[in-house]
Structure 1
Amino acid sequence: MDRKRILSFSFLAALIGGTLFFLLRQQPLSTLLQVLRSVRPGYIVLGLGLMFCFVGCEALCSRLILGRLGHNMPYRKCLGYSFAGFYVSSITPSSTGGQPAQIFYMSKDGIPAAHGSLNMMVVAVCYQTVTFLYAALSFFLLPQVRTALGGGLGLLLLYGGAVMVVLTAGMLSMMFLPNAARRLTGGLVTLGVRVGLVKHEDKVRAGLERQMKAYREGADCLRANLNLVPLLLGLTFLQLTALYAVPYAVYLGFGLSGASLFQMVGTQALVSLAVGSLPLPGAVGAAEGVALHAFTLFFGAGLVTPAVMVARGISFYSFLLISGLITLCVHLSVRRLALARDPKTPAVVPPVRLAKAGRKTALG
């Protein structure tokens, strides 16, 4: 592990420790443990099943896209890519490392980096589009939740929504309005040079042109496979519904009733949008804080702290461990294949360089 990874893990550990301290301050430990013991185990298993559905839907999207690009990959391989993306996204600020990690492991299976990047770009566009539409519908159809969020969290939601709109609109314009996107990005680079933010103008412009080419190829891929678009959007909708339904499984696990599935799913969609763009690994701390405020409406002040701990334990912390173990298996498999092809290959596969590339998932 190099210094950057040690700092990343240390930062994540500090965030988790601070979050646990904050949550434990909300309720005495003895009372908290007593409440946690009352949760029905079957609903914990249901929540974990929903998370496997979440990862599995993304893997199926990748398998469909890669198949149209000429790569008939086994579903288990695509599952490995998705678990690696979940794990690396969870330990890097703003989930910036997930896509480069997936592209890295795809390349080790013989998928050209250009096709891996194209796959992740299409997945990201679908994810961001459905995420924003899900949250927008929830915002307008759940006025009681909107009121419960209040002004401060409403601003955070506005920030998350604005970032999501800008990212999605930017990606779509690069795909389908390349000339307008080139003029806009060129103007931003020129502005960056004038104010001193851009030091190597030629290098930045060359990188943007390569990115624009990838987006044009993505648009061509979608135009040639229009029947694939609704299928990808439908799978992404199912993927996000599975993620957002975890608090409802916890709600049922506590033996509560009265709130509908849509209310719980919509509330989690708003929480995820509010914290997904914050520069924190896995939105640790922010996700718990916003969820405590939002889900008090359904769980009440006495149960909301253990409910948030269980929900985040299922959707983030337990899956961080599960995805980490699966990523380790994927990495060891890549190393064995490399050694089988060339015995002189170094014993350790070069680590993934965590380039800055926005993750498509909000782990709130």
Structure 2
Amino acid sequence: MTKKNKLVFLLMLVLGIAIFLFSVRNVSFSALVVDIQHLHWGWLIVAFCSMFFSFFLEAIVVKALLHKETMTLRWRDALRIPLIEQLFNGITPFSSGGQPAQLFAMLQSGADAGRATSVLLMKFVVYQSMIVVNFIFALLTGFHFVADKMQVLSLLFVLGFVVHLCVIMALLMIMYWYSFTKRLVKAFFKPLRWLSKSNRYEKLEEKVDVKIDNFYEESLRLKRDGWLLFKISCLTLVQLFFYYIIPYFILLGLGVSGVNFWMITTMHILIVMVISLFPIPGGSGGAEYSFSTIFSSFITNSSKLILAMILWRIITYYFGMFLGMIALVIPPQKMKKIDK
């Protein structure tokens, strides 16, 4: 981890603390202390376990995709990869650092660079597809609730859906209209080369071409292995489910009664979609605002609402980052050979 990354990590912690302090400025400190004293810690432990199980399911996906007939990834290193991803997603804008960090962790474990890159691309398309599936479900079941009460956020939900859908469509075009997509990319870069005499755009085009080729080759492999594609899709869907249900356990931990499981889960799906639009690492500021705005309809007590938001951010954001710090210092082991 570079000095720059360490500095950003510390800045995100400071920013998080500042946001928490700003959030409790109008809340009675004594009321907050009373709410903390009356927490049901058993439900909060379940929430932490749900988050960790989400990481574990992602590790299974990584292990399945990297598995070869002669080599396989060790379980310890398989779990290390999503944790490192969480750390670098949390300290980079739009979670852009997660993919390179995963690639580096795979290479440390002895994975082939080309194979690791294509695996990450396929993992990404499956993950994005399952996010869209979940979001469609959320739109059908809970969007009317948000649209009636929070018009500004409802526009962000729709924008987030459009962005993710465009990403999926682009990836599907590579899978099924490879030649057309290549021509489209070349046509896009042609006017950019005319506008600049430097070879920067040519290098960028070559880089994009390599990524398209790697993704297409991996997609051919997965299309031939339909069972593997189905398996990792189901695992990713379950992984997201365990992530999305965390606010429900937090509300139970706060003693909030009469909460609807599916409505709480649906609201969290919508919140996660909004967070992805904020350029600040971890969606800091926007994430807290979205959570507080949406869940104010379920938690009328202001101190409990702020406490729920703080617990949610600790579990879904900072918990993964701290585990990623631990995973980063654990020395990796090479992929082990499979005895015939």
TM-score normalised by length of structure 2: 0.90
* Residue number in structure 2 paired with 1:311: 312
* Residue number in structure 2 paired with 1:109: 109
Does residue 43 (structure 1) correspond to residue 47 (structure 2)? The answer is: no
Bigger mean CA deviation after superposition, 300-309 or 193-202 = 193-202
Q: CA deviation at 1:255?
A: 2.0
Q: CA deviation at 1:36?
A: 2.2
| Amino acid in the other structure paired with 2:230 | P
In the superposition, relative to structure 1, how do residues 148 and 18 fare at CA in structure 2: closer, same or farther (>3 Å)? Answer: farther
| Amino acid in the other structure paired with 2:315 | I
- The answer (yes or no) to whether the contact 2:83–2:321 under 8 Å persists in 1 is no
Partner of 2:159, secondary structure, is helix
Does residue 134 (structure 1) correspond to residue 134 (structure 2)? The answer is: yes
* Residue number in structure 2 paired with 1:271: 271
| Deviation readout 1:170-229 (Å, 9 max, x if unpaired) | 122122221221122222222433555985232122112211111111211111211112
In the superposition, relative to structure 1, how do residues 71 and 199 fare at CA in structure 2: closer, same or farther (>3 Å)? Answer: same
Bigger mean CA deviation after superposition, 197-206 or 274-283 = 197-206
* Residue number in structure 1 paired with 2:324: 323
* Residue number in structure 1 paired with 2:236: 236
- The answer (yes or no) to whether the contact 2:223–2:229 under 8 Å persists in 1 is no
* Residue number in structure 2 paired with 1:210: 210
Bigger mean CA deviation after superposition, 6-15 or 192-201 = 192-201
Q: CA deviation at 1:136?
A: 1.7
| Deviation readout 1:222-276 (Å, 9 max, x if unpaired) | 1121111221111111111111111000111122232222111111000001111
TM-score normalised by length of structure 1: 0.85
Does residue 226 (structure 1) correspond to residue 226 (structure 2)? The answer is: yes
How many residues are aligned here? Answer: 333
Runs of 4+ in 1 over 6 A off after TM superposition: none
- The answer (yes or no) to whether the contact 2:275–2:282 under 8 Å persists in 1 is no
In the superposition, relative to structure 1, how do residues 41 and 226 fare at CA in structure 2: closer, same or farther (>3 Å)? Answer: same
Partner of 1:142, secondary structure, is helix
In the superposition, relative to structure 1, how do residues 320 and 3 fare at CA in structure 2: closer, same or farther (>3 Å)? Answer: closer
The 1-side partners of 2:148 and 2:325 are apart by 36
The 1-side partners of 2:278 and 2:186 are apart by 27
Structure 2: gaps spanning 5 or more residues: 335-340
Alignment of 1:145-184 (within 5 A): 145-147=145-147, 150-184=150-184
* Residue number in structure 2 paired with 1:358: none
| Amino acid in the other structure paired with 1:125 | V
Bigger mean CA deviation after superposition, 240-249 or 140-149 = 140-149
| Deviation readout 1:294-339 (Å, 9 max, x if unpaired) | 111212252321111112211112332222222222xxx14x99xx
* Residue number in structure 2 paired with 1:349: none
Structure 1: gaps spanning 5 or more residues: 338-364
* Residue number in structure 1 paired with 2:281: 281
**Alignment RMSD (CA, Å):** 2.2
The 2-side partners of 1:324 and 1:43 are apart by 26
The 2-side partners of 1:190 and 1:201 are apart by 9
The 1-side partners of 2:103 and 2:153 are apart by 35
